[in-house]
Every structure is written in C-alpha cells, then in structure tokens.
Amino acid sequence: MESPQSHPPGFATSVRALLNDPAVADMVRLVAGSESLDRIIDHPRIQKSGLVLVGHMVGLVPTRVQVLGETELSYLESLDSAERAERCAAFFERALSLVLVSRGVEPPAELVDAARAQQTPLVIAEPRSSRSIQIIHAVLDRLLAPTETRHGVLIDIHGIGTLLVGPSGIGKSECALFLLDRGHRLVADDQVTLRRTPDGNLIGRPPPLLRHHLELRGVGILNVRDLFGATSVRDQKVVQLVIELQPVGAGEPIDRLGLDDQTMAILGVDLPHLSIPVQPGRNMAVLLEVAARNQLLKRAGHHAARAFVDRIERSLGTSSGDLAPPKVPSVTSGESE
C-alpha cells in the first residue's frame, strides 16, 4: 500500500464529480453505493489496498481512491467464503470514499455485499490497473488543482499567454479588441478562471457562460468567434506574463529601464509582471505586442536592458558595482514621452 503523499490542503472533490468526468465515465461501471456519491476525495493519488485486506490498516487514507487490482482479487479468491467476507467487511468499515476494481473483473460477492452494507461506492473499471490509475490521476489532478477567478483579460500574443489586469474601465477589453484585429487570440474577457497544474503551470480559461465573448463599453457584448473567425479564440492558455495597466499619475513608479524583472505570485506561481501606463495617444496594441515579444526573447536568454548596460560598462571600463544607480523618474501626466 502506498504511503500518503503531500498535496495542497483545502482542495477536495466528490465521488460524483470524479465519476461524471467523461474520461472516467467511459471506463467504469457503478455496482454499489449510488446513494453515497457525495463522499469527499481530497487526495490526487490512488491507494493500493492489498495490505489492508490482510489486516494491516496503518496508513489507510479513506478519502483516497482505493484500487483493487488482479493481485488483491487473487488473494481474496484464495480465502474461504467466511474469511473473505470478514476481510471485506473490515475493509469497508473504514468509511471509504470510493473503491475501484480494475481489468473489468467481476468482484467477489462478499466484496459487493460489504460495499452495499456500508453504502460505499464500488466501481468496476475495464482497463488494467496501470491504465485505470493513469486516468484517475489525470482527472484528480484537474479536479483538485488550486483555482481562483480574477478580473482581467487573457489573450494569446505571439504564443505568450498574457493576462491583462488593472482597475475597471482602464481599457483591458479595448486592448484585447486591438490585438484581435492584429491577429492575436482571445482566451477570456472580464473573468479569468486560473488553475495551477501539478507541474507548476498556471492555466487560464473563461467561465463557460463567457466563452468567446467580449464586452465593450458603449458597444455591448460581442461574440469574438462570430466576428473574427474560429482562429481568433482559444479555450485555454498557459499564463506566462502579467501586464498591469495603470492610469498615468496613479502614484506607482514606472520602471524606465527594465533591468530588474518583477514578478507577481498567483496561486503560488511567480509570473513575470509589467506595469504599463495608459494615456491617450498610446498605441496599446503595439506596446503589448512588444512586451510579449520581449518576454519571448527573455525566455530565450536575451535580456535587452541588461545587455545594453553591459555594453555601457565595457565601454567605460567599469563594473556594475562602480556605477551609481541611475535616477529613474516616474511617469506623470505632464511628462512628455
């Protein structure tokens, strides 16, 4: 039996949600416990229950999916009926959330009777154990992933998932429209649902009701797919850059050189973060395109600002420690660009 593994606390799903997932629904058949499908699953990994069947209950986590494969079923079948019933009853008395029997094997009658006695969901999966476990893990990773919803716009710019945030009315949706007109792809407008994957990526997608829609003040709700075609939208995208749109004169200093990379933490993931002032006359679509292109260069190892400073230092014969840090004035409404 596997030992418990660490997982993000506070996230849980139900047996019903797991079994209703298309990937799981296509491979399992419920044989007992239909009245208890609201039991909680709070761990993204299954638990093999072989040692429990021989009476070793240490380490059993009831809220993990318990899997009985060919080895466990062979052991049960080696017992006489009375002992098999006793072992199955002791197993199901642990208030288990869900028990899965793999390879499409019909479980012993004693196992089904014990599940029904405790009203514990018992399912039969057609694939072999390894394939069933792989599918269960993939679905639980998604169902148990930390999530949150943020006000903003997510758009795919040159392959960089760019999350636009900022105060209401600053022009995030208008920026998205400009970018759509230049061939980029909308993921979500107004509300962005963010999910952290086990490999540390942040996936953004729209709420189902807002999918493919964009709100423009004074114009109304637009269907982007109908207006710009199927290639103008995406259902989800990895977030790789956060751009905060700020009104000019907001009081926050604006970085003029870009030597120090700033980050914003969302769901524990540190993402590159830029603050861009918004004012009349600025071509925001071009600015956002350039920001995304520059992020692509940084990911490839080319940091333009640092390379520029390095060239200055070499020409002066100094090191960065010898140079006084430049005074970087903040952008104000009266300052010329």
Q: Name the band, by pLDDT with cuts 50, 70 and 90, for residue 252.
A: low
Distance of CA 25 to the CA centre of its chain: 22
Sign of CA dihedral 260, 265, 266, 269: positive
Q: Which two tokens stand for residue 141?
A: 């990773």
Distance of CA 171 to the CA centre of its chain: 26
Instruction: Answer yes or no: is pLDDT of 104 > 90.
Output: no
Of 270-274, 299-303, 315-319, 321-325, the one with minimum mean pLDDT is: 321-325
> Between 323 and 248, whose confidence is greater?
248
Could you give all domains of the chain from N- to C-terminal order, each with its CATH number?
13-143 (3.40.1390.20), 147-308 (3.40.50.300)
d(CA 176, CA 155): 7
Spatial CA neighbour of 174 closest among 252, 263, 282: 282
The backbone torsions φ and ψ at residue 63, rounded to the nearest 5 degrees and listed phi first, read -85, 10
Q: What amino acid positions are annotated as catalytic residues?
A: 151, 172, 190, 256
Q: What is the rounded average pLDDT for all residues in the chain?
A: 88
Q: How far is CA 149 from CA 141, 154, 167, 190, 198, in A?
A: 18, 12, 15, 10, 18
